[in-house]
Structure 1
Amino acid sequence: MEGIRLVLFDLDDTLLYFDDYWKRSMYESFESYPLTQGIGMDRLFPVFLEKDELFHEQWLSGVIDGGEFRRLRFIHTLAEFNISTGAEEAEAFERWFWTVRAPYIPHDPLLIERLKRWGEVYQLGILTNGTSEDQYDKLRRMGLDGLFTKSNVFVSDELGTAKPKPDAYRITASRMGFKPVETLFVGDSWMNDVIGPMQAGMRAVWLNRGNKPVPDEPVPEAVIGHLEELEHLLLHKMNN
């Protein structure tokens, strides 16, 4: 595993575990938001989860972008209760959600220390699908905004392309001054963080938190269940 100089990470469900904050803070956001607090969460939240899944699939398939995904799931949820809203109301709710979720996003000193150690050996970066304002807010809440800045964070809405398109990975590596062959990608999505990077000429480590069955092809450098398992790989195995 010689020759790796750049390590790129996915953000959601890799550096930041979605289940740590999302459902609980989203529920609280709807429960407390003036426009929705009177509907009743036993009625509203199942509808929202249904719309979230529907439009998330459209986002993953490239039909809509991350901003449209967040707006549409809100607008269509409220439409089920005969409440007419548009982009302005959806954006206002999203900002309410960011405020509510803030205390739920973990500030993990151990993660910060690990990333600092890895950063002494490799250049580090993030390639993530989403909207810039949202992703930078997460990094700030996590205490990672000192390690990851505009120079080494690449968000699909700014990049103009998204994972798993090969150019998303190649552009990111190039802007950081590296070739794909010098790059290791680490993430939880088999399609976005293993197949996509490897098709672009990178190597990959799959973060398989749920112990899902490992597909036969392609073969990543490693499959890990927890991010801390990357320590041995990066600081020992890859330098031997």
Structure 2
Amino acid sequence: MQTIVFDVDDTLYDQAQSFHQTVREQISQDFTPEELDNLYKKSRKYSELLFDESERGGEITTFEWQTGRFIKAFENFGISMNQEQAADFHYSYKDAQANITLFPEIVELLELLKNQGKQLAILTNGEEGHQSMKIEQLGLTQWISEDHIFISGTHGVAKPKKVIFDIVEKKLNLNPTETVYIGDSYEKDIIGAKQAGWKAIWVNYRNKEIPEDSKIRPDQELHHPSQLLTYFASTS
């Protein structure tokens, strides 16, 4: 049986919408849509870097990761933000994520894959409580059973480390060559999945570049949820 494993953030829904909403509510300065998107990309970049530090034996605390990503991102735009202000931004951002919805094409895709009899699962980085809240808000258990949902915070190890992929593989009794991982992060999702021996689809919605020194390539690179739907519809 082929298994399809999904990342969550910026793979199944657009996380930038919650971010944009929070910026408009919390920051008095006006931003163009392009500036908002660049600010979001910076916040994601620093989020991944600081998340890695928080995972490496507690180099920084979770709170320092959550606030530091915004402090550093806004710094790039000449906006000074202290830790208290960054904490307010973080909690407002978290509240905004209570309204997230799946891309319409993802709803169709999950229905298609379920009807095809595929085994579906989720593997996502983050705190257990926060990621569980998003998974519940997105209604993903309509298609994916709770025992097929894996959150890095639950297991104490995160993507791209092979250990977390091995945990999923063992729990679900996967055949790596028949397992496809779908995610938006080249560094976390594609490298992690390929090193585990899985196939990997990079949903590169924001047109990021693969680092020049990297020899790892995704099996497919897609740029819109509609392309993901079309890909699986055509390969059924």
The question of a shared fold, defined as TM-score above 0.5 by the shorter chain, is answered with: yes
Tell me, yes or no, if the aligned pair for 1:125 and 1:153 is still in contact at 8 Å. Answer: yes
Question: Residue 190 of structure 2 is aligned with which of 185, 190, 194?
Answer: 194
Tell me, yes or no, if the aligned pair for 2:108 and 2:229 is still in contact at 8 Å. Answer: no
**How many angstroms does 1:134 deviate by?**
1.4
Question: Residue 58 of structure 1 is aligned with which of 50, 58, 73?
Answer: 50
Tell me, yes or no, if the aligned pair for 1:75 and 1:84 is still in contact at 8 Å. Answer: no
**How many angstroms does 1:21 deviate by?**
1.7
Q: Unpaired segments of 5 or more residues in structure 1?
A: 32-40, 43-47
**How many angstroms does 1:199 deviate by?**
0.7
Question: Residue 122 of structure 2 is aligned with which of 123, 126, 149?
Answer: 126
Give the TM-score taking structure 2 as reference length: 0.72
CA distance in structure 1 between the partners assigned to 2:19 and 2:84 by the alignment = 25
Residues 1:111 and 2:86 are matched in the alignment: no
Question: Residue 19 of structure 2 is aligned with which of 22, 31, 37?
Answer: 22
CA RMSD, 1 decimal:
3.6
Tell me, yes or no, if the aligned pair for 2:106 and 2:229 is still in contact at 8 Å. Answer: no
The equivalent of 1:230 in structure 2 is 228
Q: Which has the larger radius of gyration?
A: 1
Question: Residue 185 of structure 1 is aligned with which of 181, 187, 194?
Answer: 181
The equivalent of 2:77 in structure 1 is none
Are the structure 2 counterparts of residues 74 and 205 from structure 1 closer, same or farther at C-alpha, using a change threshold of 3 Å? closer
Moved more, 225-234 or 189-198: 225-234
**How many angstroms does 1:211 deviate by?**
2.9
CA distance in structure 2 between the partners assigned to 1:52 and 1:229 by the alignment = 23
**How many angstroms does 1:162 deviate by?**
0.3
Tell me, yes or no, if the aligned pair for 2:205 and 2:224 is still in contact at 8 Å. Answer: yes
Tell me, yes or no, if the aligned pair for 2:12 and 2:102 is still in contact at 8 Å. Answer: no
Are the structure 2 counterparts of residues 8 and 67 from structure 1 closer, same or farther at C-alpha, using a change threshold of 3 Å? farther
Residues 1:99 and 2:89 are matched in the alignment: no
Write the deviation string for residues 189-222 of structure 1: whole angstroms up to 9, x where unpaired: 1121111111111111111223334567323221
Q: Unpaired segments of 5 or more residues in structure 2?
A: 30-38, 75-79
Say how many residue pairs are matched: 215
Tell me, yes or no, if the aligned pair for 1:108 and 1:142 is still in contact at 8 Å. Answer: no
Residues 1:9 and 2:6 are matched in the alignment: yes
Give the TM-score taking structure 1 as reference length: 0.71
Report % sequence identity: 28
The equivalent of 1:38 in structure 2 is none
**How many angstroms does 1:18 deviate by?**
2.0
